[in-house]
Amino acid sequence: MPTELEELVEFISHGNTQVRQLAVENLVPFSLSQPAIFKTNQLLPVKDLKLLVRDYKNPTEPNANLLAMLLANLAKWDDLKHILNLERPAPKELQSSNKAIDQLLDLFVKGAEGTYNKDADFDYLAYFFADLAKHEEGRKYFLSKQDYDASPTR
């Protein structure tokens, strides 16, 4: 029989955005203290977190900082470095490349400026980037000029 915490993790994949958001709000503290709860069922909860990326694209998302915190905590898991190669269509407000890492960097910059989401500064993404930089691929990405860096729309 699953524990209450395991049942809560299952709500990450719920079809209703508000239910996913409530689940995330309550799971953030456990993402660091009990990361194993996200690695069950052949990493299904981690795969379901892709739904959160879709929610993240909402510039009025009131829980955006919590989502950034969850992402930062999950970056302690070494296999999350695959996000360096993950591609998703960029929201028009970000005008980023289709690389998820570029979009997250854009969120971080626009969060500091307060130009993307008035309810979020995305400060927790700094921890996420630091954890990615512990991997050779991450250091290479952050220290190399990217095609995205030359974008005139930034």
**pLDDT tens digits, 107-137:** 898 888 888 888 889 999 999 999 999 999 9
Backbone angles phi, psi at 122, to 5 degrees: 60, 25
In a domain, 153, yes or no: no
- Is residue 71 one of the residues assigned to a domain? yes
Task: Note whether residue 152 is domain-resident.
Answer: no
Does residue 23 form part of some domain?
A: yes
Q: Which domain holds residue 88?
A: 4-76+83-147
Burial 50-75 (b: 16+ CB within 10 A, else e): ebbbebbbebebebbbbbbbbbbbbb
CB atoms within 10 A of CB 110: 21
pLDDT per residue over 50-105, tens digit each?
A: 666 665 667 887 878 888 888 888 888 888 888 899 888 888 877 778 888 998 99
Number of domains in the chain: 1
The answer to whether the CB of 73 falls within 8 A of the CB of 28 is yes
Those residues whose C-beta lies under 8 Å from the C-beta of residue 96, and which sit 6 or more positions away, are 90, 102, 103, 105, 106, 148
Note whether residue 17 is domain-resident: yes
Is the model's pTM score more than 0.75? no
